[in-house]
Amino acid sequence: MNFITVFRKEMLEQGRTYRFLIVAAVFVAFGLSSPALAKFTPELLKAIPGVPGGIQAFFPTPTVADAVGQYIKNMSQFGVLLALLMTMGVVVQEKERGTAAFFLTRPVSRTTFLLAKFASMTVAFVVSLAVAALGCWYYTYILFEPIAWGPFLALNGLMLVVFLVYMALSLLGSTIARSNGIAVGLAFLSLIVIGGIGALPTIGDYFPGRLFSWGASLVLKGTDTAWPALWISLGIILAALLAACLVFRRQEV
Amino acid sequence: MSTVHVENMTKHYGAVHALDGLDLDVAAGTVYGFLGPNGAGKTTTLRILTGLARPTSGKAQVAGVDVLRAGNALPRKIGHLPEEPAFYTWMTPLEFLDYLGRLYGLSTSARKSRSKELLALVRMEDVSKRRIGGFSRGMRQRLGVAAALIHHPEVLFLDEPASALDPAGRKEVLDLIENLRGQATVVMSTHILADVERVCDVVGIIAKGKMLVQSPRETLLERYAVPAFEVEADDRPALANWGESLKRLPWVTSVTSQNGTLRILVKDVKTAKAALLVGAVGAGLVLNRYEEIRPSLEDVFLQLVGSESIS
């Protein structure tokens, strides 16, 4: 009910409050700078005065793999952080300010209220990531060589899934929480749990973080796959959204 | 036929019983004053009736809709103004009302004309394109009233609509409520007795989660009337002496003096009417004012709730 109307309001809010701009700016900055950093970091190191000539030979010649690696490294850190930061307050702040109570006496279902927020954040991340990917691809093409479009698209798709995992968990935390502080705590708890377990051997193969290395392998023509991690990630997203809707439906605001 | 009907409703927050078997009935077209001291359960009742909270037990119907099983039917029947209406501060009043109009499924032309009409009603046409973020409390309250009316609701719930406003803002909001008489059933919670006296036809007095009394205002005033007279004179010592002598009379309940005015509560109005003026003249007083006081809602409220409950 009224999903489109609420979604449009959410998109407008993202524009007016500069949330969309912040996500886009961070993503685009890292999209453009990653290939450049990969290309010029060894050059810059070589240019440091006093570096003996023999040492310079140890600096490897940068390749496409370095550019892609740099891109994934930046995105995996700052993309996840942005996913948490941009979502952790979206529900709890409305509860604290009273706007949630004011709007939930209107013909807006609580499910619509939550899903419109998630959908608008997803759009912001998709658009920002698309522009960042385009920038990264172009700079990699200029500075190194072209990357195959298909695998590069798949890499970005997999990264998006990881961001959505953290967004969905952060939204759940924001729905459960009664105060902003608790929402922040729950968001970072999800990062510690998912990131921590994902770093463990064997079990980590089933966690969202594994999707980054699968994406890298796709671009660098590797044979590595991580389908279980993808299904589990999609499952986490759905479960977190479902839980958030169920919690919010029973919650007094 | 009641437009709002609440039966034996309870709401417990742990050991705290916010509502304790509340019964409430509001007839269609009434401006109903829901009166009670702070913490009496007024806001909890309104939150349940607007679907924001669930009762622990009991029944509630609003405009023929069962509140506990309302789904999407309830929001279309009601308008709600919370005590502190909250808005998206980045919106303008025009955008805000347009957004609400969309939620209620109004057409583009209907949204445009209704927004214009409501902004005129709450006297906000000149700020219709300014961001809400910079608005004063009074402006937000007026915009809240406009927002509550966007879809011509059958029942309007107003939670302390004028409590935090300055006298001018209060007058504006109360005028607005008065103008709604006949257009919608209004349930207005407040702890300000003067507001209820001014705009409400029917009064319900709640304390500690229970309805103490609900009745048309005039009936209530008659039933709980405390007959009183006020006498004002310039000669204060003589007035005070006469007041002391009145206290000894059997038909006088009490005499209080303040700023050259005696307030005399009596047991027998007829005897008082016959004796007071004669007595004042006999005491050599030159009167500035002699008035039979109509008992106020405050008198009724104090009798029912007790002065210690008023905060």
Over the stretch A145-190, which tens digit does the pLDDT of each residue have? 999 999 999 999 999 999 999 999 999 999 999 999 999 999 999 9
Of B82, B103, B147, the CB nearest to A107: B103
Distance to chain A for B86, nearest Cα, Å:
5
Which residues in chain A have Cβ-Cβ distances shorter than 8 Å to B18? none
Is the pLDDT confidence value at A253 over 90? no
With contact defined as beta carbons under 8 Å apart, do A28 and A78 qualify? Answer: no
Which residues in chain A have Cβ-Cβ distances shorter than 8 Å to B50? 105
Return the pLDDT at B309: 46
Is the pLDDT confidence value at A82 over 80? yes
Distance to chain A for B81, nearest Cα, Å:
8
Q: Is B103 on the interface with A (CB under 8 A)?
A: yes
Give the residue extent of every domain in chain B: 2-216, 228-294
Of B54, B85, B90, the CB nearest to A13: B90
Return the pLDDT at B308: 44
Nearest CA in chain B to A3: B103
Check CB contact under 8 Å for B47 and A252: yes
CA B106-B110-B112 angle, to 5 degrees, is 115
CATH architecture type of domain B228-294: 2-Layer Sandwich (3.30)
Return the pLDDT at B295: 67
Which residues in chain A have Cβ-Cβ distances shorter than 8 Å to B99? 5, 9
Return the pLDDT at B310: 40
Return the pLDDT at B154: 96
B 123-162 near A (Cβ less than 8 A): 147
Distance to chain B for A88, nearest Cα, Å:
18
* Number of other CB atoms surrounding residue A20 within 10 Å: 22
Q: Is B84 on the interface with A (CB under 8 A)?
A: yes
**Can you say how many angstroms the Cα of residue A122 is from the centroid of all Cα atoms in its chain?**
9
CA distances from B114 to A80, B109, B173 (A): 44, 8, 19
A2-35 pLDDT tens trace: 999 999 999 999 999 999 999 999 999 999 999 9
A38-51 pLDDT tens trace: 999 888 887 888 77
Per-residue tens of pLDDT for chain B, all 311 residues: 799 999 999 999 999 999 999 999 999 999 999 998 888 999 999 999 999 999 999 999 999 999 988 777 899 999 999 988 999 999 999 999 999 999 999 999 999 999 999 999 888 999 999 999 999 988 999 999 999 999 999 999 999 998 778 888 888 889 889 888 888 999 999 888 888 888 999 999 999 999 999 999 888 877 776 688 999 999 999 999 999 999 999 999 889 988 889 999 888 888 998 999 999 999 999 999 999 887 677 777 877 876 444 43
- Percent of all residues in chain A with a pLDDT value above 90, rounded to a whole number: 84
Return the pLDDT at B218: 86
Tell me the pLDDT of chain A averaged across its residues.
Answer: 93
| Residue that is written with structure tokens 């994934």 in the block | A72
Which residues in chain A have Cβ-Cβ distances shorter than 8 Å to B141? none
Which residues in chain B have Cβ-Cβ distances shorter than 8 Å to A98? 82, 84-86
Return the pLDDT at B311: 37
What is the average per-residue pLDDT within A62-87? 95
Distance to chain B for A237, nearest Cα, Å:
27
Of A16, A107, A253, the CB nearest to B75: A107
Distance to chain B for A250, nearest Cα, Å:
9
Residue A77 CB-half CA count within 13 A: 8
Strand ranges across the sheet with B261-266: B252-258, B261-266, B228-233, B287-293
Dmax over Cα atoms in chain A, in whole Å? Answer: 73
CATH code linked to domain B2-216:
3.40.50.300
Return the pLDDT at A32: 94
Of A13, A99, A101, the CB nearest to B52: A101
Return the pLDDT at A44: 84
B 248-307 near A (Cβ less than 8 A): none
Return the pLDDT at A1: 62
Give the residue extent of every domain in chain A: 3-250
Nearest CA in chain B to A104: B52
Q: Which of A3, A102, A250 would you mutate first to test chain B, the one with the most B CBs within 10 A?
A: A102
Of B82, B99, B103, the CB nearest to A98: B82
Return the pLDDT at B120: 93
In angstroms, rounded to a whole number, what is the distance separating the alpha carbons of residues B87 and B93? 9
Check CB contact under 8 Å for B87 and A107: no
- Percent of all residues in chain A with a pLDDT value above 70, rounded to a whole number: 98
Check CB contact under 8 Å for A106 and B75: yes
